[in-house]
Structure 1
Amino acid sequence: MKTRKLGNSDLVVSSIGLGIMGMSPGMYGETNDEQSIKTIHRALELGVTLIDTADVYGNGHNEELLGQALKGRRDQAIIATKFSYTPNYETISGHPDYVKEAVEESLRRLNIEHIDLYYQHRVDPNIPIEETIGAMSDLVRAGKVRYLGLSEASASTIRRAHAIHSISALESEYSLWSRDIEDEILPVARELGITHVAYSPLSRGFITGELRKFEDLDANDLRRYMPRFQGDNFNKNIEIADKIKEIANEKNCTPSQLALAWTIANHALPIPGTKRIKYLEENAASVDVELTPEDLVRIEEVSPKHVVHGTRYMKEQMTLLNG
């Protein structure tokens, strides 16, 4: 497994991580804790060290699952978790008191003494970022957290946060179909030495080419409520995914590997999520897919910026992005 330094930190992490949100109920269909733990163990065997979770995933279940999986293996993983959403995504809080409560709960569920990378999951519009980051920096000084990150933050918020305490990572959705951060946000992150961690680098599984109709989604799959997966948008996006698959076939790789290699070529650290060892191994192998300048041009031609049909979230959720 190839590795890289994580932003403004001393952490050396795998060039591809593992997002485990889908291992909790209510996210992407049925789950199986035993199978999920085996997948996490296999990730560590492959050298995938950056494991990404959040306190709100499964309302604590996700962190507890990771804690179980890492018993006796803590030193093999770089743990990234997030706070700000209250249970069931009801509200967002960046209040200093909430920050300190949330970290204690995460440490308890994960059954660890410190968190390697602690993100603010979404920016609280009612609390100045300086206050939130100030509280997070207190956690660093107390030894509860090693490094800080932001998720879905705007360029100006990143600058203000970084002025209070060094930010090591910015986690944002980024894929062939989600590139809105390229214009203003990514240049600031790169200027400040912040690693861009890309979640949903496969557009929540759409780019894999395995999803063919809306009915393939389980009744409790959250993608059923995302505009990108609904109505005519779904069918139009299938056509684009098929074009991506054609290029992947020519490169003797899967569409997932092609999309992840594209993300890495654009200097991001992807954290594709999966519950299954088969897809984990496929994703991990993407670090060895080499894309030439000609490949990148061709990919851009079949899947240019803004080509995707439908937004990534519903309207009310989109207002929480880039805070």
Structure 2
Amino acid sequence: MQTRLLGTSEIQITPIIMGTWQAGKKMWVGIEDADTIKAIRAAFDAGITTVDTAEVYGEGHSEQIVASALSDVRDKAVYATKVFANHLKYDQVIEACDRSLKNLNTDYIDLYQIHWPAGTFKSEIVPIEETMNALNHLKEQGKIRAIGVSNFNRAQLEEAAQYGRIDSLQPPYSLFWRWIEKDLTPYCVENNISIVAYSSLAQGLLTGKFEPGHKFDPQDNRAKNKLFQGENYDRAQSALDKLRPIAERHQCSLAQLALAWLIAQPQANAIAGARNEQQAVDNAKAGDINLSADDVQEIDAIGRIVTDHLDDNPIMWNW
């Protein structure tokens, strides 16, 4: 898989990135460590050398699973992890980074990201300058190579950028969830900030595997995802029906088509999770699909069947 530069750093990332929220098990059901380790390794072997995790995914469990899967090829892998909203004071950032380094069994993190802005999830409001000072210090020490932010709006991103170089933004972004295109994408293009999209398959909705009327286990976070509810879900099914002939034309799955569309967007890279080896390999193949400008435009229009009816709230879940 061809790689791309992360922002203005020297880090080469793959446009398809292995996501590991599910590896933490918390807020997911039916996840087995052995399967996740095999999936992460299969992704790596298929060319996905970049993996994204976070300290909050199972309180470090996801990071430990990443280490179990990739420690012997650490020098060829790119690790991205995140510090949560409740650890954004200076000393807390330093301590959280050290914990993540230990969990990941490494002495450096390629991309270290602020997971959510201070104040979210009833966390303490910490000035972004204080958090950025800690991140800059970690960068100077060589413990992290690049700084990113996740779930920031444009004003928050602009403020963070006043205190240090931001090389990536991690927002929810998919064919069915395009809130960032209004003002964040232009800012990222202008400032050479890589977009590292999460929920790039709309939490599996874009795979087409969920039938009309599907109900999730209440413990599954997708039970509260707005896209799986009411008219949004009905519109998604209609859009998927229109996408199927395009996928057939390219001899690929709906999921691969959605990922290919996403990484064809300005500055955009796609995080995709996998429960097993086959899903990981299939995700990697999306990096080889070449969509024409007409293809991208046609897919774009179909996606708007869903997105034109969504409100301006950037958060995908009714938490």
Structure 2 residue aligned with 1:39: 39
Question: Counterparts in 2 of 1:157-168, with a 5 A limit?
Answer: 157-168=156-167
Is 1:27 the counterpart of 2:30? The answer is no
Q: Are the structure 2 counterparts of residues 215 and 182 from structure 1 closer, same or farther at C-alpha, using a change threshold of 3 Å?
A: closer
Structure 2 residue aligned with 1:288: 288
Is 1:106 the counterpart of 2:100? The answer is yes
Deviation at 1:308, TM superposition (A): 5.8
Question: Counterparts in 2 of 1:67-82, with a 5 A limit?
Answer: 67-82=67-82
Gaps of 5+ in 2: 120-124
Is 1:313 the counterpart of 2:307? The answer is no
The amino acid of 1:108's aligned partner reads K
Deviation at 1:230, TM superposition (A): 2.5
The amino acid of 2:205's aligned partner reads F
Structure 1 residue aligned with 2:64: 64
The amino acid of 1:119's aligned partner reads Q
**Number of matched pairs:** 310
* More moved, 22-31 vs 4-13: 22-31
* More moved, 228-237 vs 129-138: 228-237
* Alignment check: 8 A CA contact 1:28 1:220 kept: yes
The amino acid of 1:70's aligned partner reads L
For residues 310 and 232 of structure 2, the distance between their equivalents in structure 1, rounded to whole angstroms, comes to 5
Structure 2 residue aligned with 1:321: none
Deviation at 1:264, TM superposition (A): 1.0
The amino acid of 1:150's aligned partner reads V
The amino acid of 1:40's aligned partner reads I
Q: In structure 1, which of residues 110, 121, 134 is the aligned counterpart of residue 115 of structure 2?
A: 121
Deviation at 1:229, TM superposition (A): 1.4
* Alignment check: 8 A CA contact 2:215 2:223 kept: no
Structure-1-length-normalised TM-score:
0.90
**What's the secondary structure of 1:127's corresponding residue?**
coil
* Alignment check: 8 A CA contact 1:29 1:217 kept: no
For residues 280 and 80 of structure 1, the distance between their equivalents in structure 2, rounded to whole angstroms, comes to 18
The amino acid of 1:313's aligned partner reads M
For residues 184 and 33 of structure 2, the distance between their equivalents in structure 1, rounded to whole angstroms, comes to 36
The amino acid of 1:13's aligned partner reads I
* Alignment check: 8 A CA contact 1:26 1:222 kept: no
* Alignment check: 8 A CA contact 2:112 2:148 kept: yes
For residues 174 and 210 of structure 2, the distance between their equivalents in structure 1, rounded to whole angstroms, comes to 17
Deviation at 1:218, TM superposition (A): 3.8
The amino acid of 1:165's aligned partner reads G
Structure 1 residue aligned with 2:122: none
Question: Over residues 2-53 of structure 1, what are the superposed CA-to-partner deviations in whole Å (9 max), with x where a residue is unaligned?
Answer: 1111112111122211101112223332111111111111122122111000
The amino acid of 1:75's aligned partner reads D
Structure-2-length-normalised TM-score:
0.91
Question: Over residues 217-242 of structure 1, what are the superposed CA-to-partner deviations in whole Å (9 max), with x where a residue is unaligned?
Answer: 34531101222213443333222222
For residues 141 and 165 of structure 2, the distance between their equivalents in structure 1, rounded to whole angstroms, comes to 16
* Alignment check: 8 A CA contact 1:158 1:189 kept: no
Question: Counterparts in 2 of 1:1-323, with a 5 A limit?
Answer: 1-85=1-85, 92-125=86-119, 126-215=125-214, 217-267=216-266, 268-304=268-304, 306-307=307-308, 313-315=316-318, 317=319
For residues 199 and 7 of structure 2, the distance between their equivalents in structure 1, rounded to whole angstroms, comes to 20
Gaps of 5+ in 1: 86-91, 318-323
Structure 2 residue aligned with 1:89: none
The amino acid of 1:187's aligned partner reads P
Structure 2 residue aligned with 1:320: none
The amino acid of 1:273's aligned partner reads G
Aligned-pair Cα RMSD in Å: 1.9
* More moved, 58-67 vs 295-304: 295-304
For residues 249 and 148 of structure 1, the distance between their equivalents in structure 2, rounded to whole angstroms, comes to 39
**What's the secondary structure of 1:178's corresponding residue?**
coil
Q: Are the structure 2 counterparts of residues 301 and 215 from structure 1 closer, same or farther at C-alpha, using a change threshold of 3 Å?
A: closer
